[in-house]
Amino acid sequence: MAHHHEHHHEISSLNGIYTLSLVLNLAFVFIEAGVGIWKDSVGLLSDAGHNLSDVFSLLLAMFAFKLSASHSRPRFTYGLRKSSVLISLLNAVILLVAVGAIIVESIHRFMNPVPVDGGAVAWTAGAGIVVNGLTALLLMHHQEHDINTRGAFLHMLADTLVSVGVLASGLVIRFTGWNVIDPIISLVIAVVILWSTWELLHESVLMSIDGVPESIDTEKVENCLSTATGVLGFHHLHIWPISTTETALTVHILVNDMNSAPLIIREIEHELGHLGIGHVTIQAETEECPARHCC
């Protein structure tokens, strides 16, 4: 019951964070687009479009979080929870596309330098640091437990880095007129985003093909099973993600006495819960009574 209350609190807390993050980032998009139109800056308008894609990523992450709590139905016995893994994969791909766009634009600016209003860029970037940094801070605590929240956190962290880079380049351009600093900083930021996104992409692909989630230590699980009181051995161990936040396990255990099996199973379930596995199915059997011959 305590676990259910904690999970409900987590859902309510994340919903509030996602809602606040969406409002902040959408407001910033409108402000940046307005300044871009006022200053006739294509760069600011382009960045407003980029930030709008981040709003879309936040919406995706929020949608995935809600899907991860969906109930079972006749055709989908785990509900639509696994679709949250596919959304995390989509978010990783969107981040990679954003990196590609930054690299292409940086190369273009190297070849065709354009004059930049350093003051307007610096002020807008400063606002971006506040909005994106605050959003990243709000998501930081929860990103360890959900890959989609981690994807949204990486989006916001990447944008904060971009804003810091843009602020620095805006100040340098204003005081030195050295426009080439803009694409240089953009390329450095692209490398940083690529490095942080690669792990997200790797884990998303792993989970989409039912690999053991990175948060689960298989060695600890096997040790938990082999050292459990009354367990002589185990086989047919399978661990896979139901969603980005839930993990399932099935296993056959060998016991001396079938009468003690219910108590042994309860103790194992309790220990596995501490290891992050909440959906456990255990089949007990003895040497005299293998599972396929027992009711």
Tens digits of per-residue pLDDT, 146-194?
Answer: 777 877 787 788 778 777 877 777 777 777 777 677 677 777 777 777 8
Q: Which of 129, 131, 145 is nearest to 14 (CA)?
A: 145
User: Lowest mean pLDDT: which of 28-42, 85-99, 201-215, 267-281?
Assistant: 28-42
d(CA 87, CA 220): 29
**What are the backbone dihedrals phi and psi of residue 12, each rounded to the nearest 5 degrees, phi first?**
-60, -40
| pLDDT at site 5 | 44
| Cβ neighbours around 12 below 10 Å, total | 10
DSSP state of 243: S
Q: Quote the distance between the C-alpha of residue 204 and its chain's center.
A: 9
Which residues make beta-bridge pairs with 145?
A: none
CA dist list (Å): 249 to 173, 210, 268: 57, 11, 11
With contact defined as beta carbons under 8 Å apart, do 285 and 255 qualify? yes
Q: Which residue in the block uniquely carries the two structure tokens 């916001």? A: 156
With contact defined as beta carbons under 8 Å apart, do 21 and 58 qualify? yes
With contact defined as beta carbons under 8 Å apart, do 253 and 260 qualify? no
The model carries a pTM of: 0.69
Tens digits of per-residue pLDDT, 85-140?
Answer: 888 888 788 878 877 877 887 787 777 766 666 666 677 778 888 888 888 888 88
With contact defined as beta carbons under 8 Å apart, do 139 and 153 qualify? yes
With contact defined as beta carbons under 8 Å apart, do 292 and 263 qualify? no
Q: What residue spans define the domains of the chain?
A: 2-208, 218-293
Alpha helix (H) residue ranges in the chain: 2-38, 42-67, 83-111, 118-140, 147-176, 181-208, 218-226, 261-274
What class, spelled out in words, does domain 218-293 have in CATH?
A: alpha beta
Tens digits of per-residue pLDDT, 7-21?
Answer: 444 555 667 788 888
Best CATH choice for the domain 2-208 from the list 1.20.1510.10, 3.50.50.60, 3.30.465.10, 1.25.10.10: 1.20.1510.10
With contact defined as beta carbons under 8 Å apart, do 81 and 67 qualify? yes
